[in-house]
Amino acid sequence: MSARPERPSCRRTWHDAAERNILDCIAYLRTQPCHDIWLSRPGSRKSYALTPDPEQRGRFAVLIREAYRSDAGQRRTRDCRVVVEVTGIDPLPAATAEQPDLI
C-alpha cells in the first residue's frame, strides 16, 4: 500500500494567509501617519486592525473581521482577536495624534 501524502488542513492554510496579511499590514502602516484604520486586500472578506503594544517591541494586538452572508442572505460580520509577536521587523513609528480635517 502506498501512503497518501499529507494535505495541509484548512487551519494551517488560514494561518499562513493571515500571517502574510498581518505582515503586509505592518509594512503598509509604516508609511501611514495614522494607524487607526482597517486594512484588507481587494476582494477579501477579511479586514485587519492592528495595534502595536507600547511595552513590548514586535507585539501587536490584531482584530480580524470577516464579512459573510447568513443562510437568509443577511450581511454579518465575525470578529476574532489575536495577539501576534513578530521578529526581525522594525517597530512601527509613533502615530500622529492629529486627524485630518474631513470638513
pLDDT (0 to 100) of residue 9:
38
Q: Is the pTM of this model over 0.85?
A: no
What pLDDT score does 32 carry?
82
pLDDT score of 30:
85
- pLDDT in the model for residue 77: 92
- How is 25-93 classified by DSSP, letter by letter? HHHHHTT-S-----B--TT-SEEEEEEE-SSSTTEEEEEEEEEEE-TTS-EEEEEEEEEEE--SSPPPP
Low-confidence ranges of the chain (pLDDT < 50): 1-2, 5-13, 102
Q: What pLDDT is stored for residue 100 in this prediction?
A: 52
